């Protein structure tokens, strides 16, 4: 017998977390179904068990999940039964980790689980948005189409995130270089000058004393500085693990000049692309909105969409229900969605909006980088120049120091 930690959804739609004892993972899942619970994750607690280790490590890469999605879509579209398609993917997997995961999913589906339920048991590989889209496709009977849409969506998401990261690489390099230069000056360069000044005697200018004092403190107490930085990072990490802490940080990001606009535009692109993809695949609007809300990636913005979903359920048009989300949806977007609803081409317009605002996001990122580069270079010049001037000031009055 082994102990398993699980998360599940009860009959009221609430998430519960607990532990249970079972011979193996399959038996643990059966126990959950017997209790009318829908498993979200089930992990064995024993350290040495191979499946428990695999569950904790995840094991598969994003590229392997993308390949799995597209290949499964092609097999289902060709008329291959689900169980046989999963078996083919398991046998053809190149690495052991995906081979084991695909085989586990095959066994779970062959045992009577839906594909969405089986994928939900492996949250490290398949996100909640992924599972929700698969569930919508299974319910509507167009799983192969949804899987193809998922693969396309994830490819565009990866491309967009890659461009965002690429735009921020150079500013980050400049910031790291500035920090490295300052540490070098304060720990290697300044101590040699301060020794020379001590030999000369005399009083040093205030700026020089401040720089030498900072250098001495950094050399003597570097361990406490490193410890303080580690504690700050740990505190921020702990804060981000809590829902209220994440919301606070997201509000700060949204209010930050330039950066907040980029966050909102990135969320808008993800929302429009996901909603357009789902509506185009035939998923009902309410279900599509719930899935697209999870794709936003910012809980503060997602909360505003939650209120809009309630308005749509009451019969209000989508465009009018989104009017209260001005941070996420500009007035022009609301009007274009309204016209698209009236003309019956909502999915195409949402996809077009995603592409248009993706281009705008690219321009916004380039503008941010254009502004950040000279700003960081200016900061580097000011810091290094201040240190150099502070060290040269005593030399200008060298005769007084010698006396």
pLDDT at 148 over 80: yes
Task: State residue 218's pLDDT score.
Answer: 84
Residues with Cβ within 8 Å of 17's Cβ and at least 6 positions away in sequence, in order, are 5, 6, 7, 8
Give, rounded to a whole angstrom, the gap between the first and last alpha carbons of the chain.
Answer: 85
Residues 322-347: pLDDT tens digits? 887 777 888 888 889 889 888 888 88
Coil, strand, or helix at residue 376?
A: helix
The percent of residues in the chain predicted with pLDDT above 70, rounded, is 90
The model's confidence at residue 47, banded by pLDDT at 50, 70 and 90, is very low
Domain boundaries, the chain: 2-57, 62-126, 142-403
Q: Which of 23-37, 127-141, 201-215, 225-239 has the highest mean pLDDT?
A: 225-239
Element (H, E) at 317: none
The model's confidence at residue 167, banded by pLDDT at 50, 70 and 90, is confident
Using CA atoms, how far apart are residues 49 and 71, in angstroms rounded to an integer? 30
**Top-level CATH class of 2-57?**
alpha beta
pLDDT at 198 over 70: no
Region 222-231: what's the mean pLDDT? Answer: 87
The upper half-sphere exposure of residue 135, i.e. CA atoms within 13 Å in the direction of its Cβ, equals 17
The model's pTM is: 0.62
Count Cβ atoms below 10 Å from residue 120 Cβ, excluding itself.
Answer: 24
Pair 263, 298: CB distance under 8 Å:
yes
Write the DSSP assignment of 7-58 as a string of letters.
Answer: EEE-TTS-EEEEEEEESSHHHHHHHHHHTT-EEEEEEE--TT-HHHHHHHH-
Task: State residue 1's pLDDT score.
Answer: 47
pLDDT at 302 over 60: yes
The model's confidence at residue 199, banded by pLDDT at 50, 70 and 90, is low
Using CA atoms, how far apart are residues 156 and 151, in angstroms rounded to an integer? 9
Task: State residue 397's pLDDT score.
Answer: 65
Residues 74-103: pLDDT tens digits? 888 888 888 888 888 888 887 888 888 888
Fold of 142-403: Receptor-associated Protein (1.20.81)
Residues with Cβ within 8 Å of 158's Cβ and at least 6 positions away in sequence, in order, are 62, 66
Task: Please tell me which residue, 136 or 23, carries the higher pLDDT value.
Answer: 136
Coil, strand, or helix at residue 325?
A: coil
Using CA atoms, how far apart are residues 227 and 231, in angstroms rounded to an integer? 6
Mean pLDDT, all residues of the chain:
79
pLDDT at 200 over 70: no
What phi and psi values does residue 4 have, to the nearest 5 degrees? -125, 135
Region 46-69: what's the mean pLDDT? Answer: 61
Residues 371-401: pLDDT tens digits? 877 888 888 888 888 888 887 777 776 655 4
Region 285-292: what's the mean pLDDT? Answer: 82
The model's confidence at residue 21, banded by pLDDT at 50, 70 and 90, is low
DSSP letter for 5, please: E
pLDDT at 356 over 80: yes
């Amino acid at each position: 017998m082994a102990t398993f930690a699980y998360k599940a959804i009860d009959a009221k739609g609430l998430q519960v977390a607990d532990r249970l004892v079972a011979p193996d993972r399959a038996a643990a899942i059966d126990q959950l179904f017997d209790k009318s619970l829908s498993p979200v994750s089930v992990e064995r607690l024993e350290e040495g068990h191979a499946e428990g280790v695999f569950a904790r490590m995840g094991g598969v890469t994003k590229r392997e999940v993308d390949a799995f999605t597209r290949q499964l879509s092609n097999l289902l579209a060709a008329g291959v039964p689900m169980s046989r398609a999963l078996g083919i993917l398991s046998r053809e997997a190149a690495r052991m980790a995906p081979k084991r995961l695909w085989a586990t999913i095959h066994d779970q589906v062959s045992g009577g689980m839906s594909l969405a339920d089986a994928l939900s048991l492996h949250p490290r590989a398949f996100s909640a948005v992924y599972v929700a889209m698969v569930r919508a496709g299974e319910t509507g009977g167009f799983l192969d189409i949804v899987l193809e849409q998922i693969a396309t969506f994830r490819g565009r998401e990866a491309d967009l995130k890659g461009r965002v990261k690429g735009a921020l690489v150079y500013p980050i390099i400049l910031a790291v270089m500035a920090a490295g230069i300052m540490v070098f000056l304060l720990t290697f360069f300044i101590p040699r000058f301060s020794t020379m000044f001590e030999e000369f005697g005399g009083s040093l200018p205030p700026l020089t004393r401040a720089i030498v004092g900072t250098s001495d403190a950094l050399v003597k107490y570097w361990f406490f500085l490193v410890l303080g930085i580690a504690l700050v990072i740990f505190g921020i990490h702990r804060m981000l693990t809590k829902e209220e802490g994440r919301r606070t940080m997201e509000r700060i990001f949204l209010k930050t000049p330039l950066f907040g606009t980029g966050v909102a535009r990135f969320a808008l692109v993800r929302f429009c692309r996901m909603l357009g993809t789902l509506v185009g695949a035939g998923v009902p609007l309410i279900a599509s909105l719930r899935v697209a809300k999870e794709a936003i990636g910012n809980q503060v913005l997602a909360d505003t969409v939650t209120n809009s979903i309630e308005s749509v359920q009451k019969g209000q048009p989508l465009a009018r229900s989104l009017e209260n989300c001005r941070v996420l949806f500009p007035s022009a977007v609301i009007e274009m969605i309204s016209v698209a609803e009236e003309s019956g081409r909502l999915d195409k317009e949402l996809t077009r909006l995603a592409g248009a605002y993706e281009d705008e996001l690219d321009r916004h990122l380039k503008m941010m980088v254009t502004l950040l580069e000279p700003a960081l270079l200016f900061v580097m010049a000011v810091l290094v120049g201040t240190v150099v001037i502070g060290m040269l000031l005593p030399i200008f009055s060298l005769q007084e120091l010698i006396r």
